[in-house]
Amino acid sequence: MTTQQKPTVVYPHEEVTVQGAVVTSVATRVLAVLRIVTGFVFLWAFLDKTFGLHYATPSAKAWIHGGSPTKGFLSSVEVGPMSSTFHSMAGDTWVNWMFMLGLLGLGVALIAGVAMRITAVAGTLMMALMWMAEFPLAQHTSAGAPSGSVNPLVDYHVIYVIGLIVLAATYAGNTWGFGKFWARLPFVSRHRWAL
């Protein structure tokens, strides 16, 4: 009687160990693509608002031509408990600078694949503030018109936050990014929260 050995199963993907978890090389590439395109969304918003590339911002309203990146959006907030706060902040120099630096920082960090934990926290804060400004829980504006909210619980702000957290949790900056180099920097290696 002869015993047969089971054939070796060859999977069409390679497995990569990341902090004790097994992630396929295809998954790491997909996460890298998600990271890069999400970064481009933030970077594009910065570039369009800065230079007026005629998509969301006409040239005449560009930041470099004296336009305000926050005045139009924040002054038109018509819903939510913070609408008067947002109206009072609309167009303030410090608000413009914080918003634009946030867009630039998120875009560059995501595309480069560095500081992913900091990026996830900063992006979550930005999305939370934008969620409050749009306040999707409201069905009607303060004037009684329909608010345009299509889902009071899960909208694009929530999806962005989840995406940022997933990218940070899976070390997505290590593939096609500078995440490994960033992690070896002395400050970052001593302070893991800066990964």
Give how far the C-alpha of residue 153 lies from the chain's centroid of Cα atoms, to the nearest Å: 18
In order, the DSSP letters of 100-137 are HHHHHHHHHHHHHT--HHHHHHHHHHHHHHHHHHH-TT
Please compute the mean of the pLDDT values over residues 58-86 and round it to a whole number: 95
Q: Indicate if the pLDDT at residue 10 is higher than 50.
A: no
Half-sphere exposure at residue 172, Cβ-oriented, CA atoms within 13 angstroms: 28
Name the least confident of 15-19, 90-94, 97-101, 116-120. 15-19
pLDDT band at 32; cut points 50, 70, 90: very high
Alpha-carbon torsion 87, 93, 98, 104, what sign? positive
pTM: 0.86
CA–CA gap between residue 5 and residue 18 (Å, rounded):
32
Amino acid at 35: R
